[in-house]
Structure 1
Amino acid sequence: MKRIETERLLLRSLKIEDAERVEELASDYDIAKTTLNIPHPYPEGSAAPFIKSMLEAEKENKMATFAIIEKSSSSLIGTMSIGNNTEHKRGELAYWIGKPYWGKGYGTEAAKAVIRYGFDEFGLQKVFAAAFTDNPGSWRIMEKIGMKHEGTLRNHVIKWGKSVDLHYYGILKEELK
């Protein structure tokens, strides 16, 4: 079982038992509007299949997904994953943090640890991430952990029937502080 500790967080493997809390947090409209793949309304019972799919991808060594646990409350506050593209030695960082926990630096703290995990455990040479251009909370996390803005892809995805631009950020292993 994966486990990373930071000053205020425990990052551990997701478990099926986390499904109810994932649904509770991911059901917030403000979470859904900032992510590509979280629907709104969040369908009841859909967190367990999501968690199962993440665990299956881990078995195939394609990614690592973490439950982000606030140590002081022992509460799951979000999730974070890092992909493992072994051919190109790169991985995509993806995350969401429950709205009650925004603005507390938890995303930045978790992202630093998960990027290091990707470099150390997967042997990645690069980690990249994307965020909607109208989601500064997400791309500011990327900047705070040392990722560099690599470009903006215009009308790159469709979210709720509307074309959306994405900021892409990346960090190389040798740039990690």
Structure 2
Amino acid sequence: MPRFVPSLAFALIGVILFGDGAYIHAKAWLAQVLLERAFDRSVATGQAVKPWSWADTWPVARIEVKRLHASATVLAGSSGQALAFGPGHVEQTVDAGERGVAVYSAHRDTHFRFLRDVTIGDEIDVTRSDGKMLRYRADRSSVVRFDQSGIDPTTDRYELVLSTCWPFDALTAGPERYLLHATLIETDSHARESGS
């Protein structure tokens, strides 16, 4: 067997893996463009707008961390299929701005990659599809097993949790999740009054 065959095989595998990784990031980017358009139409019309005709979900919120110039449009539900296109609003958790804990989840290497750079005290803006804007302040983070989050859905506070896989630089899925906890500090009426 010629000596170049193993090298050629490794090069081909590398190209395939690179292409697969590039495809995932390109799909995530394109999905966010389509989700942004659908979200803007949802806010304008007051109706849920699907981002593409065959979608089984729709955008429900936009998350922004302005200090980091980071933004992501959130889908209804957190199935694996939904998370392939954007962050998901975890089922059976309240909407942002309601009493309890609103939980949004996304992949660490695409839509929630910015979570590694969020610091305690950062402001997180959430705009719901009904146009209501809310501001949260990041107040702590934790690393937990996926089945032991410690989140109390019955709290009487107004909280937000952003969840992604941990550690940030891992190449394979694992049982740990990084949770960024935040507390509501402003609603849209207060933000308008303060000139934000």
TM range (shorter): 0.3 to 0.5
Query: Which has the higher Rg, Structure 1 or Structure 2?
Result: 2
For normalisation by structure 1, the TM-score amounts to 0.34
For normalisation by structure 2, the TM-score amounts to 0.32
**Which protein is richer in strand relative to its size?**
1
